[in-house]
Amino acid sequence: MSLTIVQTGEPVLRQQARLLRHNEVRSKEIRQLIEDMKDAMHAAPGVGLAAPQIGKGLQLAVIEDRPEYTKDWTAAQLAERDRRPVPFHVIINPRLTLIGDERVESFEGCLSVDGLMALVPRAKQVRVECLDEKGDAKVIEAAGWYARILQHEIDHLCGTLYIDHMHTRTLMTVENFTKHWKEKTLSETCRLLAIE
């Protein structure tokens, strides 16, 4: 089944998603939902998709950062963003803990805020306690870009979007990001856009 990714303004994106009960996690319906969300995330393409983004107020997200998404990036660009591939996985009923005080800036977009992106400060390291698609307890400790993905998707489950955290003066179209900012370092971008 082809899923529609809802856009900002849909009430479900601003509501707290409900926890899945243990007997729901392994249900046929949730297994199918996970497969459909995976397909929708790949088709978009994106590195994560939370259930509220497809109109379902459930504490469920799928994540995968595929190697082909950064195949044209330089080693310096990957290192600056601390980005490496993340295999496909599911997080259900996650509890997020930020580790340390260090925050890093990076551009984020969102499949539910189509065509726009902005600089967003995020914790450099996180710990996530959750269930996987089998209902087994799982602990994820992540840093860099992976930590950013987790924070972004878990925000969706709490009714929060990246635009709530962004530096407002950096909001731009994806087209202008590609044209003017993509090749600049993050420190240069922050300096030019007067971000402290």
Q: How far apart are CA 16 and CA 82, in angstroms?
A: 30
Among 102, 153, 175, 183, which one carries the catalytic annotation? Answer: 153
Contact indicator for 182, 74 with CB cutoff of 8 Å: no
**188 flagged as catalytic:** no
Listed residue (180, 178, 176, 151) closest to 166, CA to CA: 151
Strands (E) located in 6-115: 48-50, 60-65, 86-109
In the chain, DSSP assigns E strands to 48-50, 60-65, 86-109, 116-131, 137-143, 172-173
CB neighbour burial string for 130-164, b if at least 16 within 10 angstroms, e if fewer: bbebeeeebebebbbbbbbbbbbbbbbbebbbbbe
Kindly list the catalytic residues: 153
